[in-house]
A and B are shown apart, each in its own frame.
Chain A
Amino acid sequence: MQESRVYLDHAATTPLDGRVLEAMLPHLRGGAFGAGNPSSLHAPGVAAREALEEARGFVARLVGATPEEILFTSGGTESDNLAVLGLAAASPEKKHVVVTAVEHPAVRNAAAHLRSVGYEVTTVGVDADGLVSPDRFAEALRPDTALAAVMWANNEVGAVQPVEEVARACEERGVPLHVDAVQAAGRLPMDVSRVPASTLAISSHKLYGPQGVGALYVRAGVHLEPVVFGGGQEGGLRSGTENVAGAVGFGEAARLAAGELEERTRRERGLLERIVAGATALPGVRLNGHPEKRLPNNAHLRVEGVEAEGLVLFLDALGYAVGSGSACASHSAGHKASPVLLAMGQNEREAFSAIRVTVGKSNTPEEVDGFLEAFCTAVTKLRELSPLYGKPASPVAISGQQ
């Protein structure tokens, strides 16, 4: 429908960086270099192993870890699952888990699985800005708590949690903490020596690397049980031949992110401010999530009187790709309002009227201005259509009925 498309959904996935692709290609092509199995003893195997270990080093450096503390997985979801299930299995006598109300489904549903097999799960709520209170989190910890989990930055509203304080509280009480840093890695400075988490999940495709590869940081000395069994790769915690090309791409992406973090953040923050100022200039448009304690690239916009699905598709038709938290409010379609927004105290209708605009390193001010124009057009059109906007909330009397 639209030839040129502006991509503003970097929280969903980021486009592969050309430099990353170049680094990966030899490993995908095979030949003299690649296609070796890093567990093999021959030259191609050794070459693959060397590439893998170099990548591991780059990923470790992004988060301030040592290479030995990084293991590669298939992505953020697997990393989160391995951490939650693996930490729980490592202390089988403890049957209590603490999570926040705004965790990604990879953590939330892993915890739900633990509940289904007999664990007690305490969910710590958030305030209207989506932030967890470290004190309330600490109060939820018990002697029988097997693990706790908090996300560094929220994938929907972009709220950045006080991970450092939470991690300290856990450390004091001897409770292992898992941090889902999938959205934060590559966008916020990160140093596990200052945040005493036990495990930390990151993903390649959120920082311009390829999809299908992620990593789990496991602090030296922390014990974890595997959830996948096989040849004992990745220190026995993630069996299966490593995705070498993917890991190399991830490594290159991590290296670039570490080097360009400040520059990217500065640019993205500028674009973000432009979006927030422009969008909220329209009546009935508000920013979800804490205004300052948020990811530098995330504008989560609540648009009164409009449902997200129509707005996202409308913007798509105008050439702008943005995200929606919850696709369609229609109950018959089985869609549920975002648990994150509900946890922030919003009602269903509010929760269904938000879109997520997340900029990336390649977006320009011109694109943002184009987006704002399209946003204004789409919102105005959809509000003209909406029987709920600009009128009292109560439905009109119909056909003489009460």
Chain B
Amino acid sequence: MADSYNPRVIDHLVRPRNVGEIDGATGMGESGDAACGDVARFSVLVRDNVLEDVRYKAYGCAASIAAGSALSELARGRSILDAARVSKIDLEGALGGSLPPGKEHALTLVLDALHKAFEDHWNRRAGAMLVEGYGGDGGVGGGNKSVVAAMSGGVDSAVTALLLKEAGYEVATVTFRLHGGVQGSRSCCSPDTVLFARDTAHRMGLPHFTLDLEDLFEGRVMQDFVGSYAAGRTPNPCVACNAHVKFHAAAFLADALGYGHVATGHYARVIREPEGQVTMARPADTKKDQTYVLWPVPKELLARTVFPLGEHEKAEVRAIAEGRGLAVAYTPESQDICFIPDGDYRRFVRGKVAAEGGEIVDQRGRALGRHAGVVDFTVGQRRGIGVSAPTPLYVTEVRPEAKQVVVGRKRDLEVSEVRVGSLNWFLDPERSETVQVRYNGAPVPCEVEEAGDGEWVAHLEEPVAGVAPGQSAVFYAGEKVVGGGVIVRRGAGRDGA
């Protein structure tokens, strides 16, 4: 009788438990919509991380109504961690074993609604903290062996959570909603990446949460991204996210749960100097090295951060996922800029700022042609300049106030000095031996010098091309990160101009 409901489903349909909405709920969540056919809504009352009350409403097939009822029973009275661990399989079990074909959707729907209520609970609790920035309470609560692991839905973060669990940590996973999602993939429930991350966490027996960071991400990452291009700089949104969003949000949740640590699937190592300072070092898999984008993580957050993948090669990580039967083993590498899925960042930026045309000039300021907006240009760019010349031309500078794009030969790109601001030093700056000015770029020997206004100048041992304002400069002592900052200005060129 695969096509009919079992008596447990009918029982929940006719005598649904915990129906209604809670007055004074600490979180509300809804999933599905009328056009989709099913809607589930949960309200939760959480005190001291215990679900004192859970109420639900549902419209749709009998499966959705019954699944909501069964889930409310499973969740009510439990700790929020245990409730966030309840999987589709647990829920199907509570409904008597199996639903008719095509009705499994109901399980996803009601779980998503409950998880959105949890998300709402955390977001309300965080309030402005997650918009204005969160420093954390230092991770004093909870034992050492508890960690909030960020889960993106990819293989790296999944294996991160798994390795932590196997290392004896108490692990809670969290997926961040950072932006409106990918166009064209309209779903009744949360975006597929969130559902996939939740499934992955549940398969490992781990609780899963979501946090809505769209406002924070918009304010701290996307606006900066657009503003930087408009100002003639070349932004790095991953750096901005690590500086203000990801680690802060994970720390908030860790503190709310009384957990000591936060973890991400970055390839980097956290190390402690004998004198006690905390910093990062390049990972075992140097090809995946992400220290270049991690420099802005505040010291007090880095001190409680764990990067389990720092000790592993990427190939090993995939093998671990495969060996443990995780479906994420086969997910593709994530794209460069998560909020621009098609990679066309110029179109994205042009959609947000008005572009004004201006002149293309050479190194001496002579006009060579016209352009349709400085936002279309970044330092080091060769293609699409639209001016013909006997030797290839490169953008060497963007001057937004003058609406000018300066072009020159390749050697005009080279600089022997870089001025850096917004610095985050983990170690004594004087220990800097090399500086890296591009992701995956080679470290260049340098000497650093304080330049006033909190800025520093790196004197390069030999000239480097493609130094773009807005990009990061990260200083290393051997494998260790000394500190990092944002390139304010390309310094003197090779001719000392």
| A residues adjacent to B (C-beta < 8 A) | 1, 305-307, 309-310, 313-314, 316-318, 327-335, 348-349, 352, 381-382, 384-389, 393, 395-396, 398-401
Q: Please determine whether B61 and A309 come into contact, CB atoms closer than 8 angstroms.
A: yes
Neighbour of B38 across the interface among A1, A305, A330, CB < 8 A: A330
- B48-89 contact mask (Cβ, 8 Å, vs A): 1 or 0: 000000000111111111000000000000000000000000
Q: How large is the interface on B (under 10, 10 to 19, 20 to 34, 35 or more residues)?
A: 35 or more
Closest Cβ of chain B to A47, distance in Å, is 41
Q: Please determine whether B58 and A309 come into contact, CB atoms closer than 8 angstroms.
A: no
Which residue in chain B gives the minimum CB-CB distance to A332?
B105
Query: Given known contacts A393-B34, A401-B214, is B62 in contact with A334 (CB within 8 Å)?
Result: no
| Shortest 3 CB-CB contacts between residues of A and residues of B | A329-B37, A333-B102, A328-B61
Q: In whole angstroms, how far apart are the Cα atoms of A245 and B123 in the complex?
A: 71
Q: In whole angstroms, how far apart are the Cα atoms of A391 and B35 in the complex?
A: 16
Q: Please determine whether B59 and A331 come into contact, CB atoms closer than 8 angstroms.
A: no
Query: Given known contacts A1-B7, A328-B103, A330-B36, is B28 in contact with A398 (CB within 8 Å)?
Result: yes
Which residue in chain B gives the minimum CB-CB distance to A398?
B30
Q: Please determine whether B62 and A385 come into contact, CB atoms closer than 8 angstroms.
A: no
Please classify the interface of chain A as helix (H, G, I), strand (E, B), loop, or mixed, using the class held by over half of its residues. loop
Neighbour of A387 across the interface among B16, B39, B119, B214, CB < 8 A: B39
B106 at the interface (CB under 8 A from A): yes
Q: In whole angstroms, how far apart are the Cα atoms of A115 and B214 in the complex?
A: 50
Closest Cβ of chain B to A319, distance in Å, is 11
Closest Cβ of chain A to B110, distance in Å, is 12
B340 at the interface (CB under 8 A from A): no
Q: Please determine whether A328 and B13 come into contact, CB atoms closer than 8 angstroms.
A: no
B120 at the interface (CB under 8 A from A): yes
Q: Please determine whether A332 and B10 come into contact, CB atoms closer than 8 angstroms.
A: no
B105 CB contacts on chain A under 8 angstroms: 330, 332-333
Interface residue ranges of B14-40 to A (CB < 8 Å): 14, 16, 19-20, 27-30, 33-40
Q: In whole angstroms, how far apart are the Cα atoms of A309 and B10 in the complex?
A: 11
B455 CB contacts on chain A under 8 angstroms: none
Neighbour of A348 across the interface among B35, B40, B60, CB < 8 A: B35
Q: In whole angstroms, how far apart are the Cα atoms of A257 and B258 in the complex?
A: 76
Q: Please determine whether B120 and A313 come into contact, CB atoms closer than 8 angstroms.
A: no
Closest Cβ of chain A to B56, distance in Å, is 8
Neighbour of B13 across the interface among A317, A388, A399, CB < 8 A: A317
Q: In whole angstroms, how far apart are the Cα atoms of A382 and B39 in the complex?
A: 13
Neighbour of B59 across the interface among A313, A316, A348, A385, CB < 8 A: A385
A318 CB contacts on chain B under 8 angstroms: 14
Neighbour of A399 across the interface among B20, B103, B123, CB < 8 A: B123
Interface pairs (16), CB distance under 8 Å? A305-B59, A307-B37, A307-B61, A310-B13, A313-B13, A313-B62, A328-B37, A328-B62, A329-B36, A330-B60, A331-B36, A387-B30, A395-B34, A398-B28, A398-B116, A399-B27
Neighbour of A309 across the interface among B35, B62, B123, CB < 8 A: B62
Q: Please determine whether A401 and B212 come into contact, CB atoms closer than 8 angstroms.
A: yes
B134 at the interface (CB under 8 A from A): no
- B101-127 contact mask (Cβ, 8 Å, vs A): 1 or 0: 111011000000000100110011000
Q: In whole angstroms, how far apart are the Cα atoms of A124 and B82 in the complex?
A: 57
Query: Given known contacts A1-B7, A330-B102, A387-B57, is B13 in contact with A395 (CB within 8 Å)?
Result: no
A306 CB contacts on chain B under 8 angstroms: 59
Other CB < 8 Å A-B pairs besides A328-B62, A385-B59, 11 of them? A313-B13, A317-B14, A318-B14, A328-B37, A328-B61, A330-B38, A333-B101, A388-B39, A399-B119, A399-B120, A400-B123
B5 at the interface (CB under 8 A from A): yes
Q: Please determine whether A387 and B58 come into contact, CB atoms closer than 8 angstroms.
A: yes
B220 at the interface (CB under 8 A from A): no
Tell which of A306, A310, A317 has the most Cβ of chain B within 10 Å.
A310
B40 CB contacts on chain A under 8 angstroms: 387
B28 CB contacts on chain A under 8 angstroms: 396, 398-399
Q: Please determine whether B102 and A329 come into contact, CB atoms closer than 8 angstroms.
A: no
Which residue in chain B gives the minimum CB-CB distance to A305?
B59
Tell which of A318, A327, A333, A381 has the most Cβ of chain B within 10 Å.
A333
B419 at the interface (CB under 8 A from A): no
Q: Please determine whether B116 and A385 come into contact, CB atoms closer than 8 angstroms.
A: no
A381 CB contacts on chain B under 8 angstroms: 14, 16
B208 at the interface (CB under 8 A from A): no
Q: In whole angstroms, how far apart are the Cα atoms of A305 and B60 in the complex?
A: 9
B41 at the interface (CB under 8 A from A): yes
Q: In whole angstroms, how far apart are the Cα atoms of A399 and B13 in the complex?
A: 28
Query: Given known contacts A310-B65, A328-B60, is B37 in contact with A352 (CB within 8 Å)?
Result: yes
Q: Please determine whether B62 and A398 come into contact, CB atoms closer than 8 angstroms.
A: no
Q: In whole angstroms, how far apart are the Cα atoms of A400 and B210 in the complex?
A: 13
Neighbour of B103 across the interface among A330, A388, A395, CB < 8 A: A330
Neighbour of A334 across the interface among B5, B57, B102, B214, CB < 8 A: B102
- B188-221 contact mask (Cβ, 8 Å, vs A): 1 or 0: 0000000000000000000000001011000000
Q: Please determine whether B106 and A349 come into contact, CB atoms closer than 8 angstroms.
A: no
Q: In whole angstroms, how far apart are the Cα atoms of A396 and B39 in the complex?
A: 11
A385 CB contacts on chain B under 8 angstroms: 16, 19, 57-59, 65
Q: In whole angstroms, how far apart are the Cα atoms of A342 and B83 in the complex?
A: 41
Q: Please determine whether B41 and A387 come into contact, CB atoms closer than 8 angstroms.
A: yes
Closest Cβ of chain A to B224, distance in Å, is 21
Closest Cβ of chain A to B179, distance in Å, is 12
Q: Please determine whether A314 and B13 come into contact, CB atoms closer than 8 angstroms.
A: yes
Q: In whole angstroms, how far apart are the Cα atoms of A214 and B19 in the complex?
A: 48
A399 CB contacts on chain B under 8 angstroms: 27-29, 116, 119-120, 123, 212
A382 CB contacts on chain B under 8 angstroms: 65
Neighbour of A395 across the interface among B30, B102, B120, CB < 8 A: B30
A335 CB contacts on chain B under 8 angstroms: 37, 102
Q: In whole angstroms, how far apart are the Cα atoms of A318 and B10 in the complex?
A: 11
B61 CB contacts on chain A under 8 angstroms: 307, 309-310, 327-330, 333
Q: In whole angstroms, how far apart are the Cα atoms of A30 and B400 in the complex?
A: 100
B10 CB contacts on chain A under 8 angstroms: 1, 313, 316-317
Neighbour of B35 across the interface among A316, A349, A386, A389, CB < 8 A: A349
Q: Please determine whether B103 and A333 come into contact, CB atoms closer than 8 angstroms.
A: yes
Q: In whole angstroms, how far apart are the Cα atoms of A349 and B29 in the complex?
A: 22
Q: In whole angstroms, how far apart are the Cα atoms of A335 and B41 in the complex?
A: 23
Q: Please determine whether B59 and A307 come into contact, CB atoms closer than 8 angstroms.
A: yes
Tell which of B29, B62, B106 has the most Cβ of chain A within 10 Å.
B62
A388 CB contacts on chain B under 8 angstroms: 34, 39, 59
Q: In whole angstroms, how far apart are the Cα atoms of A327 and B38 in the complex?
A: 13
Q: In whole angstroms, how far apart are the Cα atoms of A316 and B9 in the complex?
A: 13
Q: Please determine whether B106 and A330 come into contact, CB atoms closer than 8 angstroms.
A: yes
A330 CB contacts on chain B under 8 angstroms: 36-38, 60-61, 63-64, 102-103, 105-106
Q: Please determine whether B39 and A395 come into contact, CB atoms closer than 8 angstroms.
A: yes
A384 CB contacts on chain B under 8 angstroms: 19-20
Q: In whole angstroms, how far apart are the Cα atoms of A399 and B65 in the complex?
A: 22
Closest Cβ of chain A to B411, distance in Å, is 50
Q: Please determine whether B5 and A313 come into contact, CB atoms closer than 8 angstroms.
A: yes
Q: In whole angstroms, how far apart are the Cα atoms of A280 and B106 in the complex?
A: 30
Which residue in chain B gives the minimum CB-CB distance to A308?
B61
Q: In whole angstroms, how far apart are the Cα atoms of A306 and B59 in the complex?
A: 7
Q: In whole angstroms, how far apart are the Cα atoms of A393 and B33 in the complex?
A: 10
